[in-house]
Amino acid sequence: MSLIIASQLDADFNQGLSQHPIAPTLIDVAEDEPWAAAAQADLLLIRPSPSWRQPSIQRPPAWPGRLKWVYSASAGIDFYPQWLLDAPLVTCGRGVASDEIADYVIAAIYAHAKNLEAITARSRAQWVNVPLGRVSGTTIGIVGLGAIGQAVAKRGLALGAQVVGLRRTGAQSGISGLEHVGDIDTLVSRADHIIIAVPATPQTRHLFNAELLAKVKPGAHIINVARGSVIDQDALIQALDGEGGPGFATLDVTDPEPLPEGHPLYTHPRVRLTPHVSSNHTLVRHRLLDKVRDDISRFARGEAPSDIVDPARGY
C-alpha cells in the first residue's frame, strides 16, 4: 500500500521512517500549523510542540481532511486540542519511555532516602556518623499501573521494597509480589513513597487535593511523573508546610510548564523540581522509531496498530 506521512519529528527520524519496506512518502509539516497537513497526508505524526497550545487555535474547518490516522509521539494526548480525537484513528507512543521514567523514579527514591550529597564529608569536622534512610523494607505505592507504573513496581520489588498499586479498572497486573489495593486512600496512608503515574483527564485533575493529601502517611515522599494537573499545587505546598503531612515531593511535571518566575515550588525546601526530563526522550528515540515502524506494518496488513487512544477516556 502507499502511505503519505506528514511528520513533525526530526530529519533523522523521518529518514528512518522512509526506509520502511512499504516505502512511505514523507512530506513536510508547517511548524506553526502542523494540522494543515491533514489535507495531504494519510498519517500525521505529531509531537507536543508549542503550536498545539496556541491560544487562538481552533478546529480547522476541514479537519480531519484525508487523514486515516494521527500518531502522537508522546504517551499523553492532553497537550493537544480535543478536536484532534475526531481523526478516524489516534494512537500514541505509550511505553516507549517507561523504563527511563521508572529509573528516574528509583533515582528520586534513593536520592531522598540516602541523600549522599547532604552527608558528604568535606572536612575532618564533617566526619560524623549520620543515619541514612532505607529503601529495602519501605512501601512504594503506585497510583496508575500502566507501562510506567509496572516498570516502577518491578524495580521496587527487586530492591526489597513492598509495592502496592492501584489501577483504575481494578484489573490485576500479573506482577508477582505486587499487592493491589482497592482505593487511593488506603494506598496513600500506607506508602512511604507515592508514585503518581496516571494520565491527565478531567477525572484525574487535582486528584491529589487537600482532602487526599491530609490522608497521606506522615513524612511520605510524593513523586509525580504524570502531569502537573493531577496535583493541586497550592494544596501540596500547604500540606508540605503543615505538620503530619507529606515530608517531601519530587516533581518532574507542573501546571503550567514551566512555572512562572518566582513560583514557590522553585525554592521550597521540601521540593525537588526537575524540568519534565524523566522520559529522557532524546535517548529513546530509537524505541519510538521501532514502535512507529511496527505500527505502520500492522496498518499496512490491515491490522490495528498498538496503543489506540480511546476518545471517551482521553488516553
User: Tens digits of per-residue pLDDT, 85-135?
Assistant: 999 999 999 999 999 999 999 999 999 999 999 999 999 999 999 999 999
Of the listed 47, 155, 193, 227, which one is catalytic?
A: 227
Residue 174 has pLDDT above 90, yes or no: no
Which of 270, 276, 287, 293 is catalytic? The answer is: 276
- Structural domain contains residue 143: yes
pLDDT at 170: 77
Quick one: average pLDDT of 51-55?
90
Q: For residues 133 and 266, state if they share a domain.
A: yes
Active-site residue identified among 31, 33, 211, 257? 257
Tens digits of per-residue pLDDT, 77-86?
A: 999 999 999 9
Residues 56 and 138 in one domain: no
Residue 54 confidence class, pLDDT cut points 50, 70, 90? confident
Cα distance between residue 145 and residue 32, in whole Å: 35
Residue spans of alpha helices (H) in 59-200: 98-114, 116-119, 147-158, 184-190
Q: Which residue has the cell 494521527?
A: 70
Average pLDDT, the chain: 96
Would residue 122 show up in a list of annotated catalytic residues for this protein? no
299: Cβ–Cβ under 8 A, 6 or more apart, which residues? 3, 43, 69, 305
Q: Does residue 160 lie within any of the structural domains?
A: yes
Residue 310 within any structural domain of the chain: no
Q: Which residues are registered as beta bridge partners of 139?
A: 162
Each residue's pLDDT tens digit, 266-304: 999 999 999 999 999 989 999 999 999 999 999 999 999
CATH of the domain at 77: 3.40.50.720
The answer to whether residue 309 is domain-embedded is no
14 with 34, same domain: the answer is yes
The confidence score (pLDDT) of residue 56 equals: 82
80 Cβ contact partners less than 8 Å away, ≥ 6 residues apart:
46, 48, 52, 72
Q: Kindly state whether residues 87 and 127 are assigned to the same domain.
A: no
276 is a catalytic site residue:
yes
Claim to verify: residue 122 and residue 144 sit in the same structural domain: yes
286 catalytic residue (yes or no): no
The reply to whether 308 falls in a domain is: no
Lowest mean pLDDT segment, chosen from 140-144, 237-241, 258-262, 309-313: 309-313
Task: Please count the helices (runs of H) and the strands (runs of E) in the chain.
Answer: 8, 12
Distance from C-alpha of 164 to C-alpha of 159, rounded to nearest angstrom: 14
The residue range of the domain holding 173 is: 98-273
